[in-house]
Structure 1
Amino acid sequence: MKKVLALTAIEAPFRSRLIETQFFDSLVRARNLSNGRWQLSFLSVIPLTFYLGRRNPWRQYVKNSNQNKTLRSNLSSKGVKYRTSLAGFPLLPRQFNLRKNETALFIAAALPWLTLKLSFLKPDLIIARSYPAAVLAWWAKRVLNIPYLFDLRGMYPEESVNAGRYEVNSPDHLFWKDWEKKLICSAQYCVVVSRPFVEHVLDIDPGARVEMIPCCVDPGKIRLPDKKKTKAKYGLDDRFVLLHLGSFGTPGDRGLVGKYLLRFKEVRPDAVLVVASGTAAFGPAIRKALLGEGLGPDDFRIYHPAGSELDDMLALGDAGLILERKVANTKVCLSVKLGEYLAAGMPVICTPHVEGVARLVEKYRCGLVVDPDQEEPLEKEGGLLAGYGDCRNNGLKLVEEILSVDRCADKWRSVIDQGLKT
């Protein structure tokens, strides 16, 4: 039986819902669909300092170790091994976006132990999630002749620019653009989340084998409480709720959702903005940005949901927002929240700059594409409200045909099967 190893690096899967839902779950389902043709295991290269906390390192270490054990136990119950390999570098989470010199330190810290583990595990194929993991997989291919699939997830060089780690066309940026081409050209297959991302990869290497596997959603796990009761619970009876779920593309996008609310209120005066942010520390900055756009205290609510409260947020929403201004990586993005909004029965409102989302919204007619920074006719919003029921049904169709975890898992199975044959 062939062995497939899924590799992550400079991430902490034991505290990342994103890795669990978008990587682990999909690949486990793909393994189940393979009818025993290959076995799956996971290996995470985790910097030691990611286990620690600044205020109470020992308590945080115990907490993260227990979470890691829980993750290992959950995967083991599904017949999947989960292993970790500790690295002495990077030291800080923000160094996930590595500079040139930091990349050399990361490789020196991670590669020796990883090579030993791979020599023992002897996988037939590596699935590398993100650019740092792919760098390790590239070296493993050179040293041990193990082929790899490259799961790009996002445009790492451009995301690092957005994170303030370096400037466009700086030596660090150009270093990673060179690595990007090298990783794509050397991979058996590339996996990306959107159609514009496919085009980006083919611009780099016209001969690349690339598959679009979008951020997925499991409709069966979205169990919403009663909408009317939930709105009453949060004091939003008879309000039309525009929901922003999760993080913002850039800090400047915080004000953009407020700017759009003012536009939408011209059509629905009872509209209110709900921002559901998972990071409480960002609350004051979000509030400041919204007030800075001219919103009043009754125009918005900011929540930091945890656990079942996330279902409450989805139940509150009448339309989901994916509003981002144009930056270098916006074109290829396809957010996890797209599937969550649609599976919860919400039409989606996005900017044209988020082209991966916008193409699907326009194709399936499950929302509207609008730029709040431009003067566009309000007939767009009027059409959304008039055809609200059709938009909801079309969104559910998009989930079923493209975004469901079962569809994505089947695509993973196909790509892995092809990678093992090559």
Structure 2
Amino acid sequence: MRKIRVAYIVWNEDPYKNNIFNNQVADQIIQIKQLHPEEVDITLVINFPLSSFVRNKKGTKQDVIDFKNQLTASLAAHNIKLQFYFSRFAFNFNTKFYLLPFQYFENFTKVKKLVEDQKIDIVHCRSYHAGFVGASIRRLFKNVKFVFDTRGRFPEEGIFRKSYEKDSLSYKIWKKRERFIISNADAVVNVSEAFQKIFETDYPKESQGKNTTIYTSSNVQVMTQPRQNNIPVLQNTNAMVFVGELSENGGYSVKKVMEAYRIYRKVIASPHLVFISTTNRDTILKEIGDVEFKDEITITATTRFQDTYNILSQCKFGFAALNDWNAPLMEYLAPTVIAAKTGEYLTAGLPLIYDNRIGGVLPLIQNHNIGMAISYPLSEEVVASQLMALNASYDEISDNCKKFACSNFSSTNNAERYFELYRKVLGAQ
């Protein structure tokens, strides 16, 4: 029996120094290959948005070439091939309808040729741009199967990011593409049960029998490594930590973190607040303002999960709350949000303090004893009571978090889930 040949496609997402890419893509396919070296061959296909990278990150083509070479070597060590294309016209990921052809015309034919030359069995496509490529390949090659990894509600995300409006032609075209992608998929992977239910409701015919939920992968193997308590400012503290982008226009804001921390520091002994964010430090400090507890706040950034875990392992609780001023965020995205940070917190054994509007995580908190859900506007009395109860059972809940992460967010367990999905779509017995 010959190996299953998979092309894993990432299209116009920027993977450069990106923890999410490292955890959810690179490490994930390495795990699949390591677990089934004689049963699967994987080629990672990256369509890199060069112009967007240069404009937004002020990077150079040489930076990307160096990244490509490093990634090639890393994957080759596990017998995984890399096919790397440059895209000069992918300026905006949530692009308007009249720019859509520019997302694909440079390199689609190259992918088509790769599928032919390597006799690919499955195209596994991350998010909607890659999904459109995969659906098109599926229409061209009837013997090639297509796995659509949704990652999020992409058309609605464009409204949230103000790339287009709900009544715009761009949104309508993206919804048509969503239907086209789902209709042609052999399997649809969602990151939360809430998202899966939405697809089953919106596209009952197109998605029937195709949906499955696989949580975002996290490198839980770091649990077995010795903890490095080497951050002096965190020693002998009980820190609440936030991981992620922070901006007034984004999904999360400093204001929401500070509102919760003001209550937290009144309840928890030796409090501290940690921000792990790529957002400009001065921007965060400006939003924090002139508070009397500035010496309790640490702001840092990481590019590797190992470094993130090192910080998280010295913290006490993981925090997330949505930026509720943004109506599209609350209406379209909040019901399905699960957030990559969730797996990272749980892996480090941090009980969650989460906004109850984060719909993908709320049932996990309610059903699996891994934290607490808070309701905005915050009631100091209610939140303080919840915190005291959570802290009283901390060791038990922290252990629950680790166990839940190992079972549901482990890249190793998810690798098995993806491999079994490959076998299923190919009709393997």
- The TM-score, its normalising length taken from structure 1, stands at 0.89
Where in structure 2 are there 5+ consecutive unaligned residues? none
**1:240 partner amino acid:** N
* Counterpart position of 2:275: 275
RMSD over aligned CA atoms reads 2.5
Listed as ranges, the matches of 1:330-345 within 5 Å are 330-345=334-349
Could you tell me how far apart the structure 2 residues matched to 1:301 and 1:66 are?
A: 31
Q: Partners in 1 of 2:301 and 2:23 — Cα distance? A: 20
Find the counterpart in structure 2 of residue 310 from structure 1: 308
TM-score by length of 2: 0.88
1:359 paired with 2:363, answer yes
Tell me, yes or no, if structure 1 residue 410 matches structure 2 residue 416. yes
Task: Look up the match of 1:123.
Answer: 120
**1:416–1:53 distance in 2 versus 1, CA, 3 Å:** same
Q: Which runs of 4+ in 1 moved over 6 A?
A: 53-57
Q: Which residue of 1 aligns with 2:240?
A: 242
Question: Identity of aligned pairs, percent?
Answer: 19
Unaligned 5+ segments in structure 1 are none
Matches of 1:168 and 1:395 in 2, distance apart? 38
Question: Is the Cα–Cα contact under 8 Å of residues 235 and 314 in structure 2 kept in the other structure?
Answer: no
In the alignment, what sits opposite 2:152? 154
Aligned length: 410
CA deviation digits over 1:222-269, x for unaligned, max 9?
546454x63xx12x4543211012324826522101111112233236
Q: Distance in 2 between matches of 1:286 and 1:32?
A: 41
Per-residue displacement from partner, 1:358-402 (whole Å, max 9, x unpaired)?
A: 211222211101124243613211111111111101111111221
Relative distance call for 1:237 and 1:118 in structure 2 (3 A) is closer
2:29 alignment counterpart: 27
Distance, in Å, in 2 between the alignment partners of 1:366 and 1:416 is 31
DSSP 3-state at the match of 2:366: helix
Distance 1:190 1:54, change over 3 A: closer
**1:152-181 alpha-carbon deviations (Å, 9 max, x no partner):** 111111222222211223221121112112
CA contact under 8 A between 1:243 and 1:276: conserved in structure 2? yes
Distance between the aligned counterparts of 2:210 and 2:85, measured in 1?
A: 30
* Larger deviation, residues 337-346 vs 8-17: 8-17
CA–CA distance in structure 2, aligned partners of residues 103 and 66 of structure 1: 29
Q: Give the aligned residue type for 2:42.
A: L
Query: What code does the residue aligned with 1:111 have?
Result: F
Query: Aligned in 2, Cα 1:253/1:186: closer, same or farther, shift over 3 Å?
Result: same
How far apart, in 2, do the equivalents of 1:69 and 1:259 lie?
Answer: 44
Matched, 1:368 2:368: no
> Residues 218 and 343 of structure 2 are in contact (CA less than 8 Å); yes or no, is this contact kept in structure 1?
yes
- Residues 53 and 96 of structure 1, relative CA distance in 2, 3 Å threshold: closer
3-state SS of paired residue (1:148): strand
What is the letter of the counterpart of residue 124 of structure 1? Answer: D
Once the two structures are superposed, the pairs formed by residues 102-141 of structure 1 within 5 Å of their partners are 102-141=99-138
Q: Is the contact made by 2:220 and 2:409 (CA closer than 8 Å) also made in structure 1?
A: no
How many Å separate the matches in 1 of 2:63 and 2:351? Answer: 39
Partner of 1:8: 10
Change (3 A) 1:295 1:183: farther
CA distance in 2, matches of 1:296, 1:380: 23
How has the CA–CA distance of structure 1 residues 237 and 36 changed in structure 2, closer, same or farther, with 3 Å as cutoff? closer
- The answer on 1:101 being equivalent to 2:98 is yes
Once residues 237 and 88 of structure 1 are traced to their aligned partners in structure 2, the CA distance between those partners, rounded to angstroms, is 47
Residue in 2 that maps onto 1:47? 49
Counterpart for residue 170 of structure 2: 172
- Shift in CA distance, 16/312, structure 1 to aligned 2, threshold 3 Å: closer
Give the deviation of 1:320 after TM superposition: 0.7
C-alpha contact (below 8 Å) 1:339/1:399 kept by paired residues: yes
- Structure 2 residue corresponding to 1:38, chosen from 27, 37, 40: 40
